[in-house]
Structure 1
Amino acid sequence: MIKTIIFGNSGSGKSTLAGKLSTKHKAAHLDLDTLAWQAVNPPQRMQIDESANLIQDFLAQNDNWVIEGCYSDLLTLIAPFATQAIFMNLPVAACVENAKMRPWEPHKYKSKADQDANLDMLIAWISQYTERTDTFSQIAHQKLFDEFNGDKLMYTKNT
């Protein structure tokens, strides 16, 4: 059985690793992007209690799981139930290159063209990772990693 959280910058390989682990362990895979945002344009974060309820539903329905995202505020709610934390702490330049090669994510974008239209904004976002102090920042992820009590791994290059 696996109960793993994976976090890091956008483009760090969270989804790729989560997909590999969920396949290998026949585990449910939850991308926090799917429950962190309201379905409005422009995008707005869902209230944290709404996201927390959806997370609790997922945990109640699954004993074997991999949950990934860059939301340290949501991951902090999940961490007490996890047995493993993986911090994808890649250099910003590697994350930018990964983002440029990212395959279409149909659960996030209507088309590959829509995803590609967002690439410049994503690269700017990725580039600010070490400077930000918000829930998506390297500082927040390092704190989550440092405070996690279970098995911990940190990757500093592509897996």
Structure 2
Amino acid sequence: MVHIHVTGASGSGTTSLGHMLAERLVIAHLDTDDFFWLLTDPPFTTPREADERIRLLLAEAGRHDGWVLSGSALKWGGQIEPLYDLIVFLKIEPELRMARIRAREIARYGDRIGAGGDMEVKSGQFLEWAATYDTAGPERRSLAAHEQWLETQTAPVLRLDSSRDIDDLVAEVLLHPAIAAGAIRRR
């Protein structure tokens, strides 16, 4: 079975593509946010300890023959990296990415992120953080950090423009030799 990591900036479509790939390949879909963040309300406010994140991720990955991991495990996911058969790196123009994030925030949280809402400040901080992905340095989740990390990986890297139709992206991943040949997990 295959193990695919779909990564990129917030708003680049990693979760959407990861979900569709898992569905097409009939394998598990795992998302880094489910391991990185504790369940809170409002959400995405309290990260788990790094050791606990990787312990949970490795345990869940070990329960499945094949999986797609979407999101970013930069700086904490090193123990799962040797399992990747393919890394899909999504890139998209910053303006389109930010429009997607804003639309997603409104769809998820509605009035909670509006003026006076309980998530107004946190959402604003998230949007500011996300807007700097392409220009920030490698000390945080950024294009620079992803590029540095990609240089260290042994799995093949497939770079895709995620402004394209998602069905086209799925088809391109499925045609990659590591997937089309039914890649066997490296040991």
TM range (shorter): 0.7 to 0.9
Distance, in Å, in 2 between the alignment partners of 1:123 and 1:65 is 30
Given the superposition, is the C-alpha separation of residues 86 and 115 from structure 1 closer, same or farther in structure 2, using an over 3 Å criterion?
farther
Distance, in Å, in 1 between the alignment partners of 2:72 and 2:139 is 11
Cα RMSD for the two superposed structures = 2.4
Among candidates 144, 154, 162, match of residue 149 of structure 1: 154
Gaps of 5+ in 1: 106-110
Deviation at 1:20, TM superposition (A): 0.9
* Matched positions, count: 154
Q: Whose Rg is larger?
A: 2
Distance, in Å, in 1 between the alignment partners of 2:60 and 2:110 is 28
Give CA-to-partner distance per residue, 1:77-133, whole Å, 9 cap, x none: 32110100011122222210111232856xxxxx55447755433321211112143
Identity within the alignment, %: 21
Distance, in Å, in 1 between the alignment partners of 2:64 and 2:31 is 14
Q: Could you say what secondary structure the match of 1:73 adopts?
A: coil
Q: Is the 8 A contact 1:100 1:119 kept in 2?
A: no
Other-structure match for 1:18: 18
Given the superposition, is the C-alpha separation of residues 114 and 78 from structure 1 closer, same or farther in structure 2, using an over 3 Å criterion?
farther
Distance, in Å, in 1 between the alignment partners of 2:124 and 2:112 is 12
Distance, in Å, in 1 between the alignment partners of 2:113 and 2:90 is 22
Give CA-to-partner distance per residue, 1:48-75, whole Å, 9 cap, x none: 1101110110121011100011331234
Gaps of 5+ in 2: 165-187
In the TM superposition, 1:1-159 aligns within 5 A as: 1-39=1-39, 43-102=45-104, 104=107, 112-114=110-112, 117=119, 119-129=123-133, 130-159=135-164
Distance, in Å, in 2 between the alignment partners of 1:89 and 1:75 is 20
Return the TM-score normalized by structure 1. 0.83
Distance, in Å, in 2 between the alignment partners of 1:115 and 1:61 is 37
